[in-house]
Amino acid sequence: MFKQEQTFMDFLLEHQERHKRSYHFLILMNSILNAAKRIQFYYSTGALRGDLGLTGSVNIQGEDVLHMDMIANELVKHSLARSGRVVHAVGEEEEEVIVMNEEGGRYFVYYDPMDGSSNVPHNLPIGFLFGVAKRNLEGKEDMHLRAGREYIAAGMFVIPTGTFTIALHNAGCWRFHLDETFNYVKPTNMVLPDSRKTWELSFNSANRGTYALPIQKWIAENERKYAFRYLGALAGDFHRILTNGGLFMYPAIINHPDPKKNRPQGKLRLMYEAAVVSFMCREAGGHAVDEDGTPILDIVPQKPHQRTALYVGSKPLVDEIGKILREK
């Protein structure tokens, strides 16, 4: 007999009922899933339509905009707005905070609709990442940008591979797979493995000479202990770390031969990249810090597109690196 796997929506419905929660979050997640499935479709067929190239414009991050960046951003923005549940959204492609439903919305959504752009022209894996925080429904209205610690959920789709991983506040980190009926099914609880046997290191090795000296020293002393893997798309690289354990890092660049290319603030965006994977990692038993060794989830954003260095993965490794970063 065939087995009917549980869908993500059924899983979430049970979760909400078990915790006596409203259905508003389901409506929000339905809009996020709809957007993800549409991105999946446009990305899978993008090469045929000639949509994997550049638009000729430059975004607020100073990066060349791809057709797919634009398509994915429009899909997510419209889907979130249509849910009616979003107060404000912050999107990678949008300079300003997007005001959606200040009257009746309940959630703040921080999203990167198409992360890992260097993979797009090759149709290789990219990510759609999102973090969700909740409005203060009782007491004083509070519209500030939320730290990762205040997220109620965070997740990522690895597109077009068809995997979706989501962490719910104090309820673990769960992975789903897209089935032939276009449903995300079969929840698997993700817990970072304790055994170092499968652990991996993931970072842009070409940059190693530009990192702080204590980090360069740590790499030299430790890299042979672990396998090394790097895809160049955070969702894909972090996907492997969640399964196998180890460490993903994108350290600050401070020793570049061309000082104009230094990135002392790091490269990744706090709200919709670093905090998203750090939240998932915490729910899977791991940890994440920035260049000062401060937990990523404690950083209160000062601006929507704030950048940070990121060290995320198995707790013993992140603790070891965190100590070095705090002492440097």
Q: Which is nearer to ligand F6P, 204 or 265 (CB)?
A: 204
Question: Which residues have a Cβ under 8 Å from the Cβ of 294 and sit 6 or more positions away?
Answer: none
Query: Least Å distance between CB 102 and ligand F6P?
Result: 29
- Within residues 121-150, the interface with ligand F6P by CB under 6 A covers none
Enumerate the H helices of the chain as residue ranges.
8-18, 24-44, 46-49, 67-83, 213-222, 234-244, 275-283, 315-327
- Within residues 14-53, the interface with ligand F6P by CB under 6 A covers none
Q: Which is nearer to ligand F6P, 115 or 187 (CB)?
A: 115
Longest dimension (CA), the chain: 63
Q: Is 277 in the site for ligand F6P (CB under 6 A)?
A: no
What is the C-alpha to C-alpha distance for residues 205 and 191, in angstroms, rounded to an integer? Answer: 27
Tell me the C-alpha to C-alpha distance, in Å, between residue 100 and each of 85, 87, 111, 272.
8, 5, 14, 18
In this structure, the number of other CB atoms found within 10 A of the CB of residue 282 comes to: 24
Q: Is 276 in the site for ligand F6P (CB under 6 A)?
A: no
Q: How many residues at the interface with ligand F6P, by CB under 6 A? A: 12
What is the C-alpha to C-alpha distance for residues 32 and 45, in angstroms, rounded to an integer? Answer: 20
Q: Is 61 in the site for ligand F6P (CB under 6 A)?
A: no
Q: Is 283 in the site for ligand F6P (CB under 6 A)?
A: no
- Within residues 194-233, the interface with ligand F6P by CB under 6 A covers 204, 232-233
One-letter amino acid identity for 28? L
> Which span (83-91, 116-124, 175-183, 190-198) binds ligand F6P, by CB under 6 A?
116-124
Q: Which of 89, 159, 185, 234 binds ligand F6P (CB under 6 A)?
A: 234
Tell me the C-alpha to C-alpha distance, in Å, between residue 92 and each of 73, 183, 222, 266, 322.
8, 26, 34, 16, 28
What is the C-alpha to C-alpha distance for residues 254 and 251, in angstroms, rounded to an integer? Answer: 9
Query: Least Å distance between CB 172 and ligand F6P?
Result: 24
- CB 166, CB 174: distance < 8 Å: yes
Query: Least Å distance between CB 1 and ligand F6P?
Result: 41
Total H helices, total E strands in the chain:
8, 17
Q: Token pair for residue 200?
A: 């991996």
Q: Is 275 in the site for ligand F6P (CB under 6 A)?
A: no
Q: Which is nearer to ligand F6P, 31 or 73 (CB)?
A: 73
Q: Which is nearer to ligand F6P, 146 or 267 (CB)?
A: 267
Q: Is 115 in the site for ligand F6P (CB under 6 A)?
A: yes
Query: Least Å distance between CB 268 and ligand F6P?
Result: 5
What is the C-alpha to C-alpha distance for residues 20 and 31, in angstroms, rounded to an integer? Answer: 21
Q: Which of 116, 266, 286, 304 binds ligand F6P (CB under 6 A)?
A: 116
> Which span (94-102, 110-118, 282-290, 314-322) binds ligand F6P, by CB under 6 A?
110-118
Query: Least Å distance between CB 271 and ligand F6P?
Result: 12
What is the C-alpha to C-alpha distance for residues 97 and 272, in angstroms, rounded to an integer? Answer: 13
- CB 86, CB 108: distance < 8 Å: yes
Q: Which of 36, 120, 159, 268 binds ligand F6P (CB under 6 A)?
A: 268
Query: Least Å distance between CB 228 and ligand F6P?
Result: 13
> Which span (16-24, 111-119, 183-191, 253-261) binds ligand F6P, by CB under 6 A?
111-119
What is the C-alpha to C-alpha distance for residues 35 and 303, in angstroms, rounded to an integer? Answer: 25
What is the C-alpha to C-alpha distance for residues 110 and 67, in angstroms, rounded to an integer? Answer: 21
Summarize as ranges the residues that interact with ligand F6P (CB under 6 A): 115-118, 204, 232-234, 237, 267-268, 273
